[in-house]
Amino acid sequence: MFVALVVCSRSPGGKAGSSFLIPLAVAGLTYLVVIREVFQTPAYARHVIFVCLALAALWRIAFVMMPPGSDDDIHRYLWDGRVQRFGYNPYTVIPADPALARLHTAETRGLNNPEVPSPYPAGAQLFFRGVTAISESIFAFKVAFVTCDLAIVLVLLDILRRTGQKEQWILAYAWHPLLATDVAGSGHIDIVGALLLLVSVAALARRWRISAAIAFGLAVAVKFLPVVLAPLYWRRVRIRDALIAALVVVMLYVPFLEHFRISIGSIGVYLERFRFNDPVFATLERVVSPQIGAGLAVLVGLLTAAWLRRKPPARCADRWAWPMAASLACAPVVYPWYLLWLLPFLRSTSTLPLMVWTISILPTYFVWHLRSLGQAWKVPGWVLLLEYGSVAIAAAIVSLRRLAQPVVQASPEEHVLPANYGQGGGSG
């Protein structure tokens, strides 16, 4: 794993080179072996876990030192934070506007889609501004994202210890290749939202309901994906808590008001124009508008969360992972780093198909190679078949095993949180 990822981080062609794709494939397959060992091994000694985490830290450092791609989103993050500090609204300014050329730096001139304003919600925008207030550099953003990654490790360790699970499950998160390539390497804001969501889950376990509600609101304010988890908070937080969280989110948008109106930036353009790795959405789009298709994707996530809300809390990780995964599967864009939201919650047999998805999505990076050859920005059919076919096979295996085995009480290792998790006394 260490050798594969270090070689990957030294790829001279970035994501477009074979020296990136081949070792990444090796790392992905190795990760699946790691998951198998974590499942089957009763317990690792603490010094073994420590060494494994140290290795994970080392290959993250290698990726932090790797220059990002010319069109990675991190360039847009730097631009959005920088223009805010000059008093501009990132939801209205156009990076390609010649009048704003003086605001660019060497690290922002090559940002992607410069003809549209920012699509990122207010929570993300304020994070961008906070980082640029410390240092206006891509390196500063990478350090900030890796810090959030480290914070997730610490929160997960606390959850594992409090719930009596095997501490080696931390490797299911810390060793995932996406954290190296898309957090330490490319740098994506999704890791900030994943941290806030995990903090909300941990706070809910401790029945800190106001903290849980606010952290959830902040996660939604980073990216809208976790909004589909709202049914899981029903009757677990009070109405007062929800209203406070909603007020916090609204206040985040106050600095971006234009004539007392909230701008959504280029969200509309995103829905109309951006497509990637979207077989389900492409099918829906043949009969409905993109806006309705996106609404259906959100509805699928909400219905999945509502259904899981009614099930016994034996495997609570499913409740947080599956609704987001269901919504993403129907989305117009499914980049690999979108699955970062799922990683902290993949710790049981029932989430094995999602673990496989987080690895089978890695071949979509082949599109970067195709684009370097002048071909269209489109995921080849064989990549889609490999990606979603692997998930279908994993789901079939899990289902067949459940049908073949007698019903038994779930073991402690299968519990992500205690059986009484989130059953707070709130009636809101």
For 227-242, what is each residue's pLDDT tens digit? Answer: 999 999 998 999 999 9
Whether 382 has a pLDDT exceeding 90, the answer reads yes
Q: Are 426 and 235 in contact (CB under 8 A)?
A: yes
CA atoms within 13 A on the CB side of 297: 29
What is the mean predicted confidence (pLDDT) over 109-126? Answer: 93
Residue 419 covered by a domain: no
329 vs 310, higher pLDDT: 329
For 119-173, what is each residue's pLDDT tens digit? Answer: 999 999 999 999 999 999 999 999 999 999 999 999 999 999 988 888 999 999 9
Most confident residue range from 58-72, 180-194, 308-322: 180-194
Return the minimum-mean-pLDDT range out of 105-109, 264-268, 411-415: 411-415
Q: What angle do CA 129, 226, 56 make, to 5 degrees?
A: 70
Residue 292 covered by a domain: yes
Q: What is the model's pLDDT at position 349?
A: 86
C-alpha to C-alpha distance for 145 and 147, rounded to whole angstroms: 5
At which residue do the structure tokens 């919504």 appear?
Answer: 327
Q: What is the model's pLDDT at position 323?
A: 96
Residue 12 buriedness (CB in 10 A; 0-12 / 13-18 / 19+): exposed
User: Dihedral, CA atoms, 167, 200, 206, 246, nearest 10 degrees?
Assistant: 180
Residue 15 buriedness (CB in 10 A; 0-12 / 13-18 / 19+): buried
Q: What is the model's pLDDT at position 259?
A: 74
C-alpha to C-alpha distance for 327 and 323, rounded to whole angstroms: 6
For 312-365, what is each residue's pLDDT tens digit? Answer: 554 576 789 999 999 999 999 999 999 999 999 998 888 999 999 999 999 999
Q: What is the model's pLDDT at position 4?
A: 95
Q: What is the model's pLDDT at position 386?
A: 96
Q: What is the model's pLDDT at position 186?
A: 93
Residue 128 covered by a domain: yes
Residue 153 covered by a domain: yes
199 vs 414, higher pLDDT: 199
Residue 423 covered by a domain: no
Q: What is the model's pLDDT at position 354?
A: 96
C-alpha to C-alpha distance for 61 and 111, rounded to whole angstroms: 24
- 335 φψ region: left (φ > 0), alpha (ψ -120 to 50), beta (else): beta
Q: What is the model's pLDDT at position 329?
A: 96
Domain count, the chain: 1
CA atoms within 13 A on the CB side of 89: 15
What is the mean predicted confidence (pLDDT) over 80-106? Answer: 94
Nearest CA among 189, 102, 179 for reference residue 141: 189
Whether 415 has a pLDDT exceeding 80, the answer reads no
Q: What is the model's pLDDT at position 141?
A: 97
Residue 200 covered by a domain: yes
Q: What does the mean pLDDT of the chain come to?
A: 90
Residue 424 covered by a domain: no
C-alpha to C-alpha distance for 204 and 211, rounded to whole angstroms: 8
Residue 396 buriedness (CB in 10 A; 0-12 / 13-18 / 19+): exposed
What is the mean predicted confidence (pLDDT) over 403-414? Answer: 55
Residue 425 covered by a domain: no
For 19-68, what is each residue's pLDDT tens digit? Answer: 899 999 999 999 999 999 988 888 888 999 999 999 999 999 999 999 88
C-alpha to C-alpha distance for 179 and 27, rounded to whole angstroms: 12
Residue range(s) defining the domain that contains residue 256: 2-414
Nearest CA among 250, 236, 260, 263 for reference residue 424: 236
C-alpha to C-alpha distance for 18 and 43, rounded to whole angstroms: 37
Q: What is the model's pLDDT at position 418?
A: 42
Nearest CA among 379, 335, 131 for reference residue 223: 335
What is the mean predicted confidence (pLDDT) over 107-117? Answer: 92
Q: What are the tokens at 132?
A: 């640029």
269 vs 327, higher pLDDT: 327
Strand partners, 262: 257
Q: What is the model's pLDDT at position 406?
A: 65
Confidence of residue 13 (pLDDT cuts 50, 70, 90): confident
Cα-trace Rg, the chain: 21
Confidence of residue 417 (pLDDT cuts 50, 70, 90): very low
Q: Please list, in sequence order, all residues whose beta carbon lies within 8 angstroms of the beta carbon of residue 316, skipping any fewer than 6 positions away.
A: 415, 416, 417, 421, 422
Whether 110 has a pLDDT exceeding 90, the answer reads no
